[in-house]
Amino acid sequence: MKFNERRQLWIIVIIALSSAPSEGSEEGISCYKCTVAPLRGSPEASSQICSQFKENRHFQVYCPKSTMCMKRTIYHRLVNGSIINTSIERDCASQLDIFQAYDYNDRQWRQQEEIVQTAYPEDCFIGEDRGSPGGPPEYCFCRYNLCNNSKSNRGTFILTVIVLFLMILH
């Protein structure tokens, strides 16, 4: 491989690494947010309905009290018995623990907040069965910005960087 080709590949790798999906920090994370139905009190035009979901800024929110994103898939059983995916909700994962702590200096109770880092596994799992006709929902939790999109691009991104790196070595 010629010097110029190798240099161009290094530039591509550096650009790819700088645009990598970044993990959420302890201060917060960016997630997609959408609901099954419009939220009460929000104008119809600004509502974030999942049936109209697109991976764009309109559906992005910053979650200062969370380090994970959540995607919940709700199922419905048809008359013939087959189960279909009827809706998907996306949001910040609920990780905020609000509790009372005694302040010995002021001799009074104070409300404190803590983000529980271990509230959920970074994975998908089936939720509690509460008698829904379609069965329990599936929950997916992830720790990098905008990871609760329709599909995960992180594995594809990592594979692309590895292939580019191997091309540089040869």
pTM of the model: 0.66
Average pLDDT on 5-16 reads 55
Average pLDDT on 126-130 reads 88
Using alpha carbons, select from 161, 141, 137 the residue that is nearest to residue 70.
141
Residue 6 confidence (pLDDT) above 70:
no
Assign 24 a pLDDT band (cuts: 50, 70, 90): very low
Q: Report how far residue 66's alpha carbon sits from residue 45's, in angstroms, rounded to the nearest whole number.
A: 27
pLDDT at 25: 47
Please tell me the least confidently modeled range out of 22-26, 62-66, 69-73.
Answer: 22-26
Instruction: Write down the residue that tokens 């409300």 correspond to.
Output: 111
Please tell me the least confidently modeled range out of 5-14, 95-104, 105-114, 141-150.
Answer: 5-14
Q: Report how far residue 59's alpha carbon sits from residue 91's, in angstroms, rounded to the nearest whole number.
A: 10
Token pair listed for 133? 């006709």
